[in-house]
Amino acid sequence: MSSNTDTAGPIANKTAGSEKSGPAVAASPNPLSFFAGMRLSELLGVVPFLVFAVMFLIAPTLFLVGAAFLDDAGNFTLQNILDLGSPQIVASFWISIRVSAASAFLGAAIGLVIALAVIRGRLPEGIRSAVLTFSGVASNFAGIPLAFAFLATLGRLGLMTVILKLIGLDIYKAGFNILSFWGLTITYLYFQIPLMILIIAPAIDGLKKEWSEAAATLGATPAQFWRYVGLPVLWPNLLGTLSLLFANAFGAIATAYALTGSSLNIVPILLYAQIRGDVLHNPGLGAALALGMIVVTAFANVLYLIVRTRAERWLK
């Protein structure tokens, strides 16, 4: 008994001492603790990406933000931001938002139908591989080659225009123009639809066959399954993909500039004219335009990330 008492005594005293010392203070988290478990080779593998991001994303963005608040003499000014409210710039933002929204909605709708037909339909497996491979290539095909392809196809002397004339349909007399709003929107669909297929394909794969089988067992029709199960599960991914397609079209300049020139005054073309043009040369206003584009595209991308994160639980 004495040995148990002698042993319990120091333990009790130690416990009492710890209670008298007050509550323990939580150790402050180390901001570099994320890199603590990484090997040197792993850190070196990330360095090229970090350097690339700093040189071509972060540094230019910070430069544009600073230049938007400077005048030609290098003094601080808010005039560049106030000039964003001029009728010409407001109209350019409006036409850019309309083109981006139209191409995003049409691209999402058409891409969703194609993806569902390829993935959920009873098509050969080779068709799925071919469609996804083509989508990976077409989603990155833009700029001058894409503009030339559509001019050669749907221009006034384009192949499809001539063929349609032979059967008695003149699309230009009907009001179509490749250099107009709908002409640019249709051109954007060439890379918007494949991008939609690539992004939505994993979400469609996440729809378990057991769900449709259980719905059919309970007497639900295919339309009821998609209305009450399929589309609600895909809805967060659809919203996120819409925002990403919008941002993708809003920042495109090479295709629009090569296709329409200055006939369609969207924001990227107006920005280019302010920075590199001879008549509208105003780098400060160009930086303010770029800042406005950054805000719009950042909002769309943040919305995509938030919605995508909420949708990931359905894919597990």
Range of lowest pLDDT (41-50, 128-137, 176-185, 230-239): 41-50
Residue 83 identity (one-letter amino acid):
D
Q: Which domains does the chain have, with CATH numbers?
A: 86-315 (1.10.3720.10)
pLDDT greater than 80 at residue 306: yes
Q: What is the mean pLDDT of residues 282-303?
A: 87
* Averaged pLDDT score across all residues of the chain: 83
Query: CA 176, 180, 186: angle at the middle one, nearest 5?
Result: 75
Per residue in 38-59, pLDDT (tens digit) is: 677 777 888 888 999 999 989 9
Per residue in 7-34, pLDDT (tens digit) is: 444 444 444 444 444 444 445 555 555 5
Crossing angle (nearest 10°) for helices 144-154 and 159-166? 10
pLDDT greater than 50 at residue 64: yes
Higher-confidence position of 268 and 190? 190
Tokens of 201: 């394909």
Instruction: State residue 221 phi and psi, 5-degree precision.
Output: -80, 165
Q: What is the mean pLDDT of residues 117-134?
A: 88
Closest C-alpha to 134, from 201, 213, 71, 64: 201
Rounded CA-CA distance 44/90 in Å is: 45
Per residue in 243-268, pLDDT (tens digit) is: 989 999 998 888 998 898 878 889 98
**pLDDT of the residue at 8:** 45
Per-range mean pLDDT, top range of 102-106, 118-122, 215-219: 102-106
What is the helix (H) or strand (E) element at residue 169, kind and residue range? none
